[in-house]
Amino acid sequence: IRSLCFSPCGKLVLTGGGDDRIRWWDAATGKRLGQVRELIGPCVLGFMDGTRAAVLEADGQASVVTVPGGTVA
């Protein structure tokens, strides 16, 4: 894991890994809930709200990803 952040509600964890993928996890159980997309190198992650997160990749590309499955409250 290169980057990690918790959702504002504390129920989800977003990770950016050494395999260049962004994944969502249940914070309580550690169960992987899904994979959003591939990224380029190390990244910085930060939740904007309960449904979206900002991603800054190694190449300087910034983007917003949405939690698969809708709102997390």
* One-letter identity of residue 25: W
Amino acid (1-letter code) at residue 49: D
Q: Which residues contact 57 (CB under 8 A, 6 or more apart)?
A: 39, 40, 41, 42, 43, 63
Q: Is 43 exposed, middle or buried (0-12, 13-18, 19+ CB in 10 A)?
A: buried
**Cβ(25)–Cβ(67) under 8 Å?**
no
**Which tops the pLDDT comparison, 72 or 43?**
43
Q: What is the pLDDT of residues 54-73, one digit of tens each?
A: 888 888 888 888 876 544 44
Who has greater pLDDT, 36 or 72?
A: 36
pTM of the predicted structure, to 2 decimals: 0.76
